[in-house]
Amino acid sequence: MDLSTAYDALGADLQATLSLWLIVLGGLIVIVWDAFRERDALIPVFAGLILVGAIVWDLFQLTAEPATAFYGLIRTGGFAAFVNLLLEVSALCTIVLSVPYLKRIGKDYAEVYGLVLFAVSGMMLLGAANNLVTIFVGLETMSICLYIMAGLVREDEGGIESALKYFLLGAFSTGFFLYGIALLFGSTGSMYLAEIGHAASTSTSAMYWSGVGLLLVGFLFKVSAVPFHMWTPDVYQGAPTTLTGFMSTASKAAAFASLILVLFYAVPYEKWTLAVAVIATITMVLGNLVALSQRNVKRMLAYSSIAHAGYVLVGIVAGSAEGYAGALYYLLVYTLMNIGAFGVLALMEWDNESGRTQSLDSLAGMGYTRPFIGVAMGVFMFSLSGFPPFGGFLGKYAVFAPAIKAGYTWLVVVGVIASMVSAYYYLRVLYVLWMKDSTDPAAMSNDKRVALTVPASSTAVIGFCAVLLLVFGVYPEFLQMAVDFFSPSAVSIAP
Amino acid sequence: MLQTFFPLFLQLLMAGGLALTLLLGAKYLGPKRPNLIKRQVYESGMDPVGSAHQRYSVKFYLVAMIFIVFDVEVVFLYPWAVTFKDFIAAGSGLGVLAVILPFIAILAIGLLYDIKKGGLDFDS
């Protein structure tokens, strides 16, 4: 047997997916490192360096030709590199923000950094999958790491609630997902997205549509779209704040990227759009309306993340190259906004219960004592509500404009009204931070807020997110790049 | 289609019917003379003491999990080992060995982590 061609192919595949292997290897090293030298301070530094290496590699891959690796199981090239970059940046920011935060709450386990790396590797598989089995493996790798992270504070009832709810509901959604995969395979005879799409373009059966429906349930659960959103507020509220930021951004981005691939390659366009449009509508409306009445900022941001899932779905409903690219771009700016907002929140948190019991009023006047992160929070909140010139505005434009072009004007009207409503609860955070004094002298005397310090590393990450949001708000280079991922020529190269 | 399964249904019906008949027969026909000792929970002759809702260490689950991991490893290694001889004969044994080694290395790392973290330490 001559295996030289197989080895050549293996070498080329390993090279094309190098960032993935770098991160997996980094995670394994972190685990062994921690086993021998528990809570070594250098472990997060090492994990961060691994991610920096992966980011550099993927920056060069952005312009690579689209292709597949490992016998068509996984995509490489521009789209994959774009999603990978998003995930890696999110993970890097999370690690830098988590080091001082976890030390403060006394949970500075080094396993967290291993889990973040493993979760990112799962997300990268998920976001670049070309095969239903790859999607499933990636989804599970990601989810299991996130379940553990949600329950990191295992002595706190909120942490337990968070982890248990996430785990049980996640297990159910996995069941739906797996059944959907089985039905799709049964009706089309293939696990490859393009082949499924090819079989579906000639004829579709009830079995095929049941499979698509169950698959959608699994995806919409992971991106917390209404009516599969019930877990989101409780899970986000109970998890450690910086890790909540990671959960709400990277896992959603990966699941959305995978959903885009599935809908783009495996499902004929006309049939699913109305269903997704209806889900997008109720997601936007319910997420924003319920966020209005939240007193806890983490819970409010959880409902806001539900609403943002709705905006991304609007871009997907458009179904054009611009629409998918807009969804990807929205995920990029959403990741920066949310990581930054949760990072600021982690710095303003002083109740020793991961901010679970803190009301919005407990942050009163904190903008004056910590002006830099106060201003940064202003950037994130304005961007989340979609104010120009921040990234959030351009992101919203990028998802809404293609939807109008595709004839979904009513959907966009709902979206714009919903995001106008959202301005109320986003800007109320700024009102409390800057325009309200904590005048109660009794509260001031035993004020734990005074003792809170702002580490330089966290400041740097938050500043980085804020500056990048401004850049993405005025310089839409990445948006144009994302459009090219779905151009007919790119699709024809890598079916 | 369904008719071919008729004997099966018949057998299910008979099995269920027999069990039900015996239980009901024992309930209505049998003599009942209960006393305190008879009505106790059966504990192999011991006196049942204390509540059943007690917390106890479930260290066993760690061993069970490791067992499953290595069980799956064997499932993967068997087909590999069977074909390995052919690859040696073809002169590409080293390359095929290099492909399976990362898999085993990852499992070994997991075991190492488990031992170092005291997963197999039953006393603590």
From CA A352, how far away is CA A448, in angstroms rounded? Answer: 10
Give the range of the structural domain holding residue B103, as residue numbers without chain letter.
60-116
Chain A CB contacts of B120 below 8 Å: none
Task: Report whether pLDDT(A451) > 70.
Answer: no
d(CA B114, CA A111): 13
Indicate the pLDDT class of residue A450, thresholds 50, 70 and 90. Answer: low
The rounded distance, in Å, linking the Cα atoms of A117 and A142 is: 10
Residue B84 lies in a domain: yes
Indicate whether B30 belongs to any domain: no
In sequence order, what are the residues at sequence separation of 6 or more whose Cβ sits closer than 8 angstroms to the Cβ of residue A252? A222, A223, A224, A305, A309, A331, A334
The DSSP result for B1-16, as a single string, is -GGGGHHHHHHHHHHH
pTM: 0.89
Q: How many domains does chain A divide into?
A: 1
In this complex, the residue of B92, B96, B116 whose CB is nearest that of residue A35 is B116
pLDDT tens track for A333-375: 999 999 999 999 998 887 777 778 788 888 887 888 888 989 9
- Mean pLDDT calculated for residue range A243-256: 95
pLDDT at A447: 59
Give the pLDDT mean for A159-175: 94
B92–A32: do the CB atoms touch at under 8 Å? no
Q: Which residues of A touch B112 (CB under 8 A)?
A: 32, 35
Residues of B in contact with A28 (CB under 8 A): 106, 109
Q: What percent of chain A has pLDDT over 70?
A: 96
Give chain B's end-to-end CA distance (angstroms, integer). Answer: 59
CB atoms within 10 A of CB A16: 21
Nearest-CA distance A71 → chain B (Å): 16
Query: What is the tens place of the pLDDT at every residue in B39-95?
Result: 877 777 777 777 777 777 777 777 887 888 888 889 989 999 998 888 888 877 888
Contact assessment for residue A358 and residue A296, using Cβ atoms and an 8 Å cutoff? yes
Nearest Cα residue to A142 out of A95, A87, A189: A87
CA atoms within 13 A on the CB side of A409: 1
Backbone angles phi, psi at A72, to 5 degrees: 75, 15
What is the per-residue pLDDT across A391-418, written as a single tens digit (0 to 9) for each?
999 999 999 999 999 999 999 999 999 9
Q: Between chains, do A31 and B113 touch, taking CB under 8 Å as contact?
A: yes
The structure tokens 């030298």 sit at A37
Complex-level ipTM: 0.79
Looking at the structure of chain B, the number of domains it has is 1
Mean pLDDT across B17-29: 93
Q: Which domain holds residue A454?
A: 4-493
Count, in order, helices (H) and strands (E) of chain A.
23, 2
What digits encode the pLDDT tens for the residues A16-47? 899 999 999 999 999 999 999 988 899 999 99
Instruction: Residue B113: list chain A partners with CB under 8 A.
Output: 31-32, 34-35
CB contact at 8 A, A322 and A405: yes
Spell out the residues 6+ positions from residue A238 whose beta carbon is closer than 8 angstroms to its own. A150, A153, A156, A158, A159, A160, A161, A162, A163, A354, A356
Alpha-carbon gap, residue A127 to A83, rounded angstroms:
6
Residue from the list B95, B110, B112 with its beta carbon closest to the beta carbon of A3: B95
B90/A28 touch (CB, cutoff 8 Å), yes or no? no
- Partner B, chain A 18-57, Cβ-Cβ below 8 Å: 28, 31-32, 34-36
Helix axes A456-474, A78-104, angle to 10 degrees: 150
Rg (CA), chain B: 28
* Residue B4 in domain: no
The rounded distance, in Å, linking the Cα atoms of A156 and A238 is 8
Place of tokens 């699941």: A255
A459-485, pLDDT tens digit by residue? 999 999 999 999 998 988 888 888 888
Residue A35, min C-alpha distance to chain B (Å): 5
Partner A contacted by B101 (CB < 8 A)? no
**pLDDT at position B23 over 90:** yes
Q: Which of B86, B95, B106 sits opposite A28 (nearest CB)?
A: B106
Tell me the one-letter amino acid at A214: L
Pick the residue from chain A with its C-alpha nearest to B102. Answer: A25
Per-residue pLDDT tens for A44-92? Answer: 999 999 999 999 999 999 888 888 899 889 999 889 999 999 999 999 9
User: CA B86, CA A254: separation in Å to the nearest integer?
Assistant: 41
User: What are A2-14's pLDDT values in tens digits?
Assistant: 778 888 888 899 9
Contact between A298 and A345 under an 8 Å Cβ cutoff? The reply is: yes
Rg of chain A, C-alpha, whole Å? 22
Q: What is the pLDDT of residue A311?
A: 96
Q: Using H for helix, E for strand and C for coil, what is the string for A137-168?
A: HHHHHHHHHHHHHHCCCCCCHHHHHHHHHHHH
Q: How far apart are CA A390 and CA A401, in angstroms?
A: 17
DSSP assignment of B31-47: -----TTTTSPP-TTSP
Burial class (CB in 10 A: 0-12, 13-18, 19+), A375: middle
pLDDT at A434: 86
Give me the pLDDT at residue A355, please.
77
Note the pLDDT of residue A401: 94
